[in-house]
A and B are shown apart, each in its own frame.
Chain A
Amino acid sequence: MYNSIFAGFVAAVFINLLLSILFSVFTVKLKINQIVTGVGFNLLIAGLAKFLLILIFHSSSNTPRFENFPSFPLFKNIPGVGELLSDYIILFSFALVFLSQYVLFRTTFGLRLRSAGENPEAAESLGVKVRNYKFYGVLISGFLTSLAGIWLASNQNGFSDGMVAGRGYIALAAMIIGKWKPYNIFFACLMFAFFEAFEITIQISGFGIPSQLIQMLPYLITILVLVGFIGKTKPPASDGIPY
């Protein structure tokens, strides 16, 4: 049972959806500030993961090793990117770029979702059920983050404490740099990925640069890119305001 990655997949998605529902009860229904709730969840879950790790696996650092998902065979032999393209979650994440662009900007659902973030009063006056759309939004993002977590653990063949290492914040940064547009966000993510790979390469090559300095890189880049190239980025007008 411990070694079924598919059971793990289902459990991760299920728990994430549960947490999303809880999060939207707090922020959408009870209208509690989203940042405060978010920080609370963040701390709680980091602690909870470690607690469960000890409770179930009797280790404070990591789970036993498990097998990754079977790989997707079709592109396996393409040189260079073969390994990348044999991962289902990665393939899905590529598709997701186009899918989210389509859903957000070409469908009724997307229009209403965006209107809820821009001007909920106006949207509501036109019969858009703003609370429902906020709920859907949280649910979708909960599902997507569960995929991110699943990928991270499965790719390392095990979960270890603190393995997320601030990537959630990097995702936020990518969203800001990408100005809330899927295509732009895709490139922002590639940029961060590049610097992360760069960081690892440098560390391995042992140039004698302190690793802390190199770990700062992605954050430094965010600031530089924001100040230097992107200019003003404007969040949805009612972003983060309870309605």
Chain B
Amino acid sequence: MPDIEFFNITKKFGELTANDDISFKILSDTVHCIVGENGAGKSTLMKILFGVYHPDKGYFCIGNDKKVFSSTYDAISNGIGMLFQHYMLIDDFTVLENVILGREPEKKFSLDYRKSENILRELIDKYNLNLSLDKKISDLSISEQQKVEILKILYRNSDIIIFDEPTAVLSPLEVREFFNIVLKFKEDNKTIILITHKLNEVKEIADRVSVLRRGKLVYECTKEELDIEKLSINIIGEIGEKDIVTRKEDVSEKKTLINFKNVGYISGNRKILDNLNLELKTYEIFGICGVEGNGQSEIVRLMMGMIKPSEGNMYKIIGEISLVPDDRIKKGMIENFNIGENILLKSPLHYISKKNIRNISKNIISKYDVRVPDFNVPMSALSGGNQQKVIVAREIELDNKAIIFYHPTRGVDIKATGFINSKIIEMRNSGRAILLISSDIDELLGLSDRLAVLYRGTVSKVFEKNEIDFKDDISRNVLLEKLGKLMIGINQE
């Protein structure tokens, strides 16, 4: 496979320079990680390589050929595949239809479903993708949808595969599985470009790393030179002060705001929640860990009053609950509205003037360090992590008694993750009741006062604070192993 080399790539959006004179090389048959803060320009650069955007200046070479693609289709035809931060799937189509669309095997007068099936089966087996071809996308979990996107790329014989934050939505076990797929790609002489915010993942999988900051390439290193401390300094551009808010001592008069008693929830003929018990209390962060699809979203929907339990009872003694939803695009915002409008959506009725939209936006932008080209742009022009910050900010500022964080730091960079985590602790200290659902085990261990493992719609175990406080790496690993097993249903007690 040929190398890819960028030469002086520059891309502006209005006043903002998203990519500023970037030149570097990606070696063939390697895993190349690209890291950087939210809004650093990572996705933009990759979209240029994939033909979504045109650079204002500069070009890139694949091997010796100078290239600039005019469309994604052009890029695909040249052997490039990209997994976007936000998936491009047709919900009402089956896995098979989604994958073959645009490149369908045909026999005389019709689509050759049999042949498509055989080709895809082979790919699924080869890369252990574990997908069933005739399921509809709307019935798949996020990690399965991701596999469909991967299958789409494989089906088009791409040799260069770009992954934009693929692990943000995966649980630790699924990350393992994903990395195995990536390593297999490497074995097959494919070049992999991977964007992530998780530096331990970089350490694990990268052959080379490039760091972007505010549109510029600021640092590069190889696997051998890689040092997480140094990398994170280069990402942030300063030595990060660890301003983690300290957790106040437990208070004794906690009050239960939401109480699930033997709750069951049936949808169609599937039992999604089964005999579930949990309590959400003031002055407490209640963490839930588990593989996605074990009932997390139903718990959230029950609490929000969107569905009712089929069995058992849910007692709730508060009205409004804030929610940071798992899918920011579909459930958290209106893409064509600007920041201020998206925030006002949830405030009490209110006279809306240009001035007060501006003030609200500016306030959130500075308080939560949202990086935007202009306060007035629609949400769709914000980078993924910055969109997330806006949603989190809105929900925190609502100042309700209870708040649900469903993947609060999904796609958010290290610094902002630290900031959001401290905010969560601050809210807990001031007596809010907090439900935290996350795929990031470290986040759960660091924040939770109690941590429940959710498996097949029921809480299989609850850890108290002292049980998840580890003293050293060894006890941490023991704990992680235990959690990992519980999450797939192995209970050793």
**A contacts, CB < 8 Å to B:** 102, 106-108, 110-112, 114-115, 118-119, 121-128, 234, 236-237
Residue numbers in A under 8 Å from B101 (CB-CB): 111-112, 115, 122-123, 126, 128
Residue numbers in A under 8 Å from B98 (CB-CB): 122
Q: In the assembly, what is the distance between CA of A124 and CA of B106, in Å? A: 20
Set A112, A124, A126, A234: member contacting B92, Cβ < 8 A: A234
> Secondary structure at chain A's binding surface: helix, strand, loop or mixed?
helix
CB-CB nearest in chain B for A123: B101
CB-CB nearest in chain A for B106: A108
Whether B111 contacts A111 by the Cβ 8 Å rule is: yes
Q: In the assembly, what is the distance between CA of A127 and CA of B98, in Å? A: 13
B151 to chain A, nearest CB (A): 13
4 tightest A-B contacts by CB? A126-B102, A127-B73, A122-B88, A108-B104
Chain B residues with a Cβ closer than 8 Å to the other chain, count: 22
Q: In the assembly, what is the distance between CA of A41 and CA of B344, in Å? A: 39
Q: In the assembly, what is the distance between CA of A17 and CA of B88, in Å? A: 34
**B contacts, CB < 8 Å to A:** 72-73, 76-77, 88-93, 97-98, 100-104, 106, 109-111, 152
Q: In the assembly, what is the distance between CA of A128 and CA of B102, in Å? A: 6
Whether B92 contacts A236 by the Cβ 8 Å rule is: yes
Q: In the assembly, what is the distance between CA of A111 and CA of B109, in Å? A: 13
Given that A122-B90, A123-B102, A126-B102 are known contacts, is A111 also in contact with B110, CB under 8 Å in the complex? no
Q: In the assembly, what is the distance between CA of A234 and CA of B88, in Å? A: 20
CB-CB nearest in chain B for A128: B102
Given that A107-B110, A111-B97 are known contacts, is A127 also in contact with B90, CB under 8 Å in the complex? no
A101 to chain B, nearest CB (A): 12
Residue numbers in A under 8 Å from B111 (CB-CB): 106-108, 110-111
Whether A127 contacts B102 by the Cβ 8 Å rule is: yes
Residue numbers in A under 8 Å from B109 (CB-CB): 107
Q: In the assembly, what is the distance between CA of A124 and CA of B101, in Å? A: 10
Other than the given A112-B102, A115-B93, A127-B77, 15 more pairs (CB < 8 A) read A106-B110, A107-B111, A108-B110, A111-B97, A112-B101, A115-B90, A115-B101, A119-B89, A124-B73, A125-B88, A126-B101, A126-B103, A127-B73, A127-B102, A237-B90
Given that A115-B93, A118-B90 are known contacts, is A126 also in contact with B104, CB under 8 Å in the complex? no
CB-CB nearest in chain A for B112: A108
Set A108, A119, A121, A128: member contacting B91, Cβ < 8 A: A119
Q: In the assembly, what is the distance between CA of A93 and CA of B304, in Å? A: 50
Q: In the assembly, what is the distance between CA of A221 and CA of B238, in Å? A: 70
